[in-house]
Amino acid sequence: MTQAILIIEDEPSIADTLIYALEREGFVPTRVATLAEARAAVGAHAYAAIVLDVGLPDGNGFDFCRDLRRDHATPILFLTSRNDEVDRIVGLEIGADDYITKPFSPREVAARLKAVLRRAVQPAVNGTPEFFQIDAGKRCIIFRGNALELSRYEYGILNLLLRRPGQVYSRQQIMQHVWPDPDMSLERTVDTHIKTIRNKLKRIADEEILLTHRGVGYSIKDGR
Ligand code: CA
């Protein structure tokens, strides 16, 4: 399956590197250099993912991301300058799926993009239990009519578990799907996030929804 990727980047040398790297991996990249062109492009075509530079001639990538998130769940990979912590945090908070710091290796971009796309695959087998609703565009999960206030990782974990209720995910599988750098993180941080999510659910309804399978992993109770 060929996947169309929109690259929004004003520096020709970086854009060329990206196009080359993505084409080599079988993606079909389209490149634009301004936000105006980007808006026209997303209005006219469906893209599997977007690679977005922060500093663009006619504005800021963050604004574009915020606007897009109002009605698109398209995965976004930010390109940030140097090691700008603020850029990274802002990008993730406003709905980017991952970021990559310049200078980057083309192979790393392709790998990150694949990871982002893997996480974005939606089809649910059993269906979301009826007491949950997911607004992927707003990255919001509603439980029994209450919008949950979730951190980025909590959202990622719960969203993953909800795709296949009843399916048990190991800590390692959860990290592979949710963390940008699974190798750099500790599996017990998954436990910590699970505990927080469980507390947030229990505040709304005192029932066993997020199940622990000792020595195996976690699942969401099948709602049917
Ligand atoms: Ca730029």
Q: Ligand 1 centre from 21 Cα, in Å?
A: 18
Residue 123, C-beta contacts closer than 8 angstroms, at least 6 positions apart: 163
**Domains in the chain, please, with CATH?**
4-121 (3.40.50.2300), 132-220 (1.10.10.10)
Which tokens hold the place of 112?
Answer: 């990150």
Q: What is the pLDDT of residue 124?
A: 42
Half-sphere CA count of 154, side-chain side, radius 13 A: 18
Q: How far apart are the first and last CA of the chain?
A: 33
Distance 62 CA to ligand 1 centre (A): 12
pLDDT score recorded for residue 88: 67
- CB-neighbour burial class of residue 196 (10 A; exposed 0-12, middle 13-18, buried 19+): middle
What is the Å distance from ligand 1's center to 170 Cα?
39
> 11: CA distance to ligand 1 center in Å?
6
Dump pLDDT digits (tens) for 38-97: 999 998 888 889 999 999 999 999 899 988 877 777 889 988 876 666 666 676 777 788
What is the whole-number distance in angstroms between the Cα of residue 57 and the centre of ligand 1?
A: 7
**Residue from 28, 67, 32 nearest 49 by CA:** 28
Cα separation of 203 and 192, whole Å? 17
Question: How far apart are the CA of 24 and the centre of ligand 1, in A?
Answer: 23
Q: What is the pLDDT of residues 208-219, one digit of tens each?
A: 899 999 888 999
What distance in angstroms lies between residue 22's CA and the mean position of ligand 1's atoms? Answer: 19
CA of 97 to the centre of ligand 1 (A): 19
Report the separation in Å between the CA atom of 42 and the middle of ligand 1, taken as the mean of its atom positions. 19
Distance 81 CA to ligand 1 centre (A): 9
Q: Judging by beta carbons within 10 Å of its beta carbon (0-12, 13-18, 19+), is residue 8 exposed, middle or buried? A: buried
C-alpha 23/C-alpha 45 separation (Å) is: 18
The yes-or-no verdict on residue 205 having pLDDT over 60 is yes
Distances (CA, A) of 218 to 11, 48, 88, 140: 44, 29, 29, 21
Distance from Cα 9 to the centre of ligand 1, integer Å: 6
- Annotate 70-108 with b (16+ C-beta within 10 A) or e (fewer): eebbbbbbbbbeeeeeebbebbbebbbbbbbeeebeeee
